[in-house]
Every structure is written in C-alpha cells, then in structure tokens.
C-alpha cells in the first residue's frame, strides 16, 4: 500500500519518464499484477432478479438480448437442466463474445466447474485432438463428495516443532514431531503429529489462532479460517473469520469435497508406489497424459455412479467454453457431437466470429460459422450486435477507470468515433499507448492530440485492409516485401 502511494506521488514531479518507469495503475480493481486483463472490467451479466438486462451493469454495456439469453442459460445450468446442450455465440470481432462467456462463468460462481479453451488448443503433436477435447469435458464435470470423517478440529493454541539430530547427515537437525494444541468451546487437546503433517501445516501457512482440522486417517490438514477471537476492525480484508468450533476436538465431521472427473482420472492414472525417481517424475509432469485411457474413464465412471447411487456424491455438470470454435476440424466436430450425447456431458458454450466458411479438415463443405450443420443443429445460437458510438464511449470510460487512466475533454468522443468506424477493440487498444504518449509529454491525462497521434501510428483493421492493393500486395506485385 505504502509503496503504491509513494510511486503515485512521485509521478507528476518526474515529468518525462521512460515508459518502463510508468507508475503502476492505482485503480482498486487493478490488483497487484501490473498486467490488466482485457476483460477485467466484466463482473457478471448484470441482470435483474427477473432476468432482464440492466442497460449498463456489472461492467457490461448494451448487448441486452445476448445477456438475457446467457442469463437463461445460467439458470438452466444452475438447475442442472442444460447439460448435454450447446450455446453458440456468434458475432463480429470485438462484440463481446468472449466477455459474455466470462460473465457466465462469474455468474455460475466457483462451485460450478468452468473450463475455457481455444479451438486451436486441440492441435498438439503429443496428444490426439479428440483426447484434448475428452479431457476438457471430464474436467468440466464436478463431483461433490460428502464424507463423514474422523477429525481433530479446533483453534490452534500451540504449534511447537520438536527438533532432533539428523541421523543421516550429522549436520543440522530435523523435525522429529510437532505438538499442536487445539481448542474448542468444549475443551482442549494436545496432539503429537508426524513431521510430514508439519510440512502440510507450513504449506497452509497455519499459525496460532487459526481454526484447522486434521483428518485422523490420512493426516491431511485443512485451514478453515481465522478464529473470530482475532477478528480485526478492518472493513475489508481477505481473511475469513470463523467461530470457535463446537463439540469435542476429536469428532466425526461431515466434509464436502469438490473434485472433477478429470481429477479422478488423473489420480488413478498416476503410477503409484515407491519413492523412486519415476514416481517423482510422474507427479511432476502433467500426470498420466498417456495413461488415462477410455477403459480407465469407464472404471472411474462406474465408481462414481456407485457413489451417486449411495447418495455419497452428487454430480455437478459444469461448462466447457470453446472460443474460436471454427478452428476445430471435422474430426473434432464429429467427436463433439458424440461427447454432447454421452450421459455425463457438461454444458458447452461455443463462440466464433466467422460467417460462412469452409469446415476445417474438408475441402468442399462450406457451412455457417465453419461448423458442420449437424452440430449447428444441436446449438442454441445467440448473436452479439455491433456497438453504437455511445456504447463504445461507455466501454472506453469503463476501461479507463480499470486501467487507472485519466481522460481529457473530448477524448471519449474521439475514441467512440474511432471505435464506431473501426471496432470497439481498436478504440480500447489505443488507450494504453496513448497514456504513454501523454506521460512522455509530461501530462497525467490523455488528450485528444494523443489519440490523433495514435491514429497516425497505428492502423485499424479496415484502413489496413483498404491499403492493400486489389491483387493482395503493397507494391502492386502481390508480395508483402
């Protein structure tokens, strides 16, 4: 906090600074990292409780029909009535398709798995195309497992590692055991724990005053939160405070665990056993890439089905989002059809900016959005509209706030005009470079002239396209050089 303050107060005095010396953005949503993601202003779909879109809300400007449609899909996903179906977002580049999909993931919350990917990710030299798709689909099916386990739970009152001579090296000491004191409303207990549990305690950054539980069988340690006896008077902080646990320290507790079918596949494919180098490597490289077979998935499914039948687990279908879906080829599309029809299928959201185009992997099948008609037939299609000048202006203003930029008079109008003529994305992309020009000129505010200069330096897609000769080159010869 103090360093951020120091750098902003220093900025105006050191007028012409190089751009790597730019002050970090100070807007609250900018977060700690210096890079601000292009969609960080999108906080959700911005719908009323009746499902109607507020004109401008949750960082979303306009696009009301598409947002309402996505709202319906969110409701259906939450009530688990949309799995195995697909939503297709179509529209011109920069009209907010990716932003809509991210808004859907915000609305679904962290409990529903959301697995985004880009169509071209399937082209790997190591893994089959269909395997990539199958894996994403497995990761998008959540499983909520309820288990009653024996645990030791309480507020940590003492945390003392006991060291002893290291019998192996002669130098240094190792932790022989750790003594943990736990307190509940009803009583206290002192536990002597194995050093491996001490490592877990260090990893979870557990200190005195935290509420934790240790699973009796496995020794897994989980931090629940900070005891509210230590609650501070800050209005805003990241800590979660929990009350002192009731009952005895040693008790049976119902634990809820969220895993995905993908996790289960990977865990079961990983080579088990000895501490030899192979098993160390096995857990370092993305586990079991080659070992997860269709047979293993069937086995996992069978076990999962058993759990569900016994009422121990609950299936939570999530969402697979495939951006730039026209990059998939006919083989992937066919496989996608099959995946959609499998009994445990997540909801699929697709996005593309193509009109009629050739389906990849074929030489003669031209179809709308580059998607074969049989898959298209399974999709509910939502179109994003292009933006008016007014709407571009509003998005520009939003982004300026997120990026911590000040805009002088007329800048929004100028960018809105540019954005309407070319695209919303072009207008947004001019913001950051224009702010660098402004800083170099010793101003902390972007003026219209900075935007003008940007327009001279950088072309938008349409201008660039119009400069290309009719034969496709710059010198009339059809060559780029």
Residue 355 sits in the site that holds ligand ATP (CB under 6 A) = no
Please state whether beta strands 60-61 and 188-193 pair in parallel, antiparallel, or not at all (unpaired). Answer: unpaired
Residue 43 sits in the site that holds ligand ATP (CB under 6 A) = no
Residue 38 touches which of ligand ATP, Mg ion, none (CB < 5 to 8 A by kind)?
A: ligand ATP
Q: What are the tokens at 41?
A: 């202003």
For the bound state, the minimum distance from the C-beta of residue 430 to ligand ATP, rounded and expressed in Å, comes to 13
**90-98, 155-163, 204-212, 260-268 -> range binding ligand ATP (CB under 6 A):** 90-98
Residue whose entry in the numeric block shows the structure tokens 């907010």 = 96
Selected from 12, 28, 31, 93, the binder of ligand ATP by CB under 6 A is: 93
Residue 141 touches which of ligand ATP, Mg ion, none (CB < 5 to 8 A by kind)?
A: none
**9-17, 53-61, 338-346, 407-415 -> range binding ligand ATP (CB under 6 A):** 53-61
For the bound state, the minimum distance from the C-beta of residue 99 to ligand ATP, rounded and expressed in Å, comes to 4
Q: Between residues 339 and 371, which has the closer beta carbon with respect to ligand ATP?
A: 371
For the bound state, the minimum distance from the C-beta of residue 330 to ligand ATP, rounded and expressed in Å, comes to 22
Q: Between residues 260 and 391, which has the closer beta carbon with respect to ligand ATP?
A: 391
Residue 402 sits in the site that holds ligand ATP (CB under 6 A) = no
Residues in contact with ligand ATP, total (CB under 6 A)?
Answer: 21
Q: Between residues 98 and 260, which has the closer beta carbon with respect to ligand ATP?
A: 98
Closest alpha carbon to 303 in 272, 342, 340, 264: 264
d(CA 208, CA 283): 32
First to last CA, the chain: 50
Q: Between residues 425 and 443, which has the closer beta carbon with respect to ligand ATP?
A: 425
Binding mask 419-458 for ligand ATP (x = CB under 6 A): -----xx--x------------------------------
Q: Between residues 98 and 439, which has the closer beta carbon with respect to Mg ion?
A: 98
**91-99, 134-142, 147-155, 279-287 -> range binding ligand ATP (CB under 6 A):** 91-99
Q: Between residues 83 and 384, which has the closer beta carbon with respect to ligand ATP?
A: 384
Q: Which residue is nearest to Mg ion (CB)?
A: 98
d(CA 345, CA 141): 7
Query: What b/e string do you get for 400-429 counting C-beta neighbours within 10 Å, with b at 16 or more?
Result: bbbbbbebbeebbebbbebbbebbbbbbbb
Pair 353, 93: CB distance under 8 Å: yes
d(CA 97, CA 108): 17
Selected from 98, 105, 367, 384, the binder of Mg ion by CB under 5 A is: 98
Please state whether beta strands 141-165 and 250-260 pair in parallel, antiparallel, or not at all (unpaired). Answer: antiparallel
Selected from 98, 105, 184, 435, the binder of ligand ATP by CB under 6 A is: 98
d(CA 382, CA 349): 11
Residue 97 sits in the site that holds ligand ATP (CB under 6 A) = yes
Binding mask 339-368 for Mg ion (x = CB under 5 A): ------------------------------
Selected from 25, 63, 182, 359, the binder of ligand ATP by CB under 6 A is: 63
Residue 354 touches which of ligand ATP, Mg ion, none (CB < 5 to 8 A by kind)?
A: none
Residue 95 sits in the site that holds Mg ion (CB under 5 A) = no
Residue 88 sits in the site that holds ligand ATP (CB under 6 A) = no
Q: What are the tokens at 121?
A: 């990710």
Query: What b/e string do you get for 43-66 counting C-beta neighbours within 10 Å, with b at 16 or more?
Result: bbbbbeeeeebeeeebbbbbbbeb
For the bound state, the minimum distance from the C-beta of residue 97 to ligand ATP, rounded and expressed in Å, comes to 3
Q: Between residues 349 and 430, which has the closer beta carbon with respect to Mg ion?
A: 349
Selected from 353, 422, 435, 439, the binder of ligand ATP by CB under 6 A is: 353
d(CA 161, CA 174): 10
Q: Contact positions toward ligand ATP, by CB under 6 A?
A: 38-39, 42, 59-63, 91, 93-99, 353, 395, 424-425, 428
Q: Contact positions toward Mg ion, by CB under 5 A?
A: 98
């Amino acid at each position: 906090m103090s360093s951020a303050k120091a750098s902003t107060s220093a900025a105006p005095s050191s007028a012409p600074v190089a751009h790597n010396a730019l002050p970090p953005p100070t807007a609250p949503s900018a977060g700690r990292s210096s890079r601000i993601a292009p969609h960080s202003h999108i906080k959700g779909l911005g719908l009323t409780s009746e499902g109607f879109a507020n004109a401008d809300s949750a960082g979303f400007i306009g696009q009301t029909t598409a947002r309402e449609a996505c709202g319906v899909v969110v409701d259906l996903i939450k009530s688990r009535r949309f799995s195995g179906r697909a939503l297709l977002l179509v529209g011109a580049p920069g009209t907010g398709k990716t932003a809509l999909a991210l808004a859907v993931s915000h609305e679904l919350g962290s409990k529903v798995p959301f697995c985004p990917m880009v169509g071209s990710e399937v082209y790997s030299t190591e893994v089959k195309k269909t395997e990539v798709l199958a894996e994403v689909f497995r990761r998008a099916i959540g499983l909520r497992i309820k288990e009653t386990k024996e645990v030791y739970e309480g507020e940590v009152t003492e945390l003392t590692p006991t060291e002893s001579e290291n019998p192996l090296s002669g130098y240094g000491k190792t932790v022989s055991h750790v003594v943990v004191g736990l307190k509940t409303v009803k009583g206290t207990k002192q536990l002597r724990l194995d050093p491996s549990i001490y490592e877990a305690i260090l990893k979870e950054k557990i200190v005195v005053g935290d509420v934790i539980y240790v699973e009796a069988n496995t020794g897994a340690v989980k931090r629940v939160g900070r005891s509210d006896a230590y609650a501070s008077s800050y209005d805003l902080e990241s800590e979660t405070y929990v009350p002192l646990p009731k009952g005895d320290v040693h008790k049976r507790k119902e634990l809820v665990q969220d895993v995905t079918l993908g996790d289960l596949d990977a865990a079961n494919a990983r080579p088990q056993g000895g501490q030899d180098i192979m098993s160390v490597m096995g857990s370092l490289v993305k586990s079991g890439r080659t070992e997860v077979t269709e047979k293993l998935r069937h086995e996992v499914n069978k076990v999962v089905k058993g759990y569900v039948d016994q009422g121990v687990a609950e299936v939570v279908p999530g969402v697979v989002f495939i951006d730039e879906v026209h990059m998939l080829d006919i083989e992937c599309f066919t496989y996608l059809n099959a995946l959609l029809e499998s009994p445990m299928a997540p909801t699929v959201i697709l996005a593309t900016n193509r009109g009629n185009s050739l389906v990849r992997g074929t030489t003669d099948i031209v179809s709308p959005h580059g998607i074969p008609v049989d898959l298209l037939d399974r999709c509910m299609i939502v179109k994003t509209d292009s933006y008016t000048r007014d709407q571009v202006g509003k998005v520009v203003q939003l982004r300026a706030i997120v990026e911590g930029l000040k805009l002088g008079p007329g800048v929004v109008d100028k960018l809105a005009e540019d954005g309407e003529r070319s695209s919303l994305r072009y207008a947004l992309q001019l913001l950051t470079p224009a702010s660098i020009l402004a800083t170099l000129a010793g101003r902390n505010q972007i003026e219209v002239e900075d935007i003008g200069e940007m327009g001279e330096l950088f072309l938008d897609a349409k201008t660039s396209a119009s400069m290309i000769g009719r034969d496709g080159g710059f010198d009339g010869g059809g060559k780029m050089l």
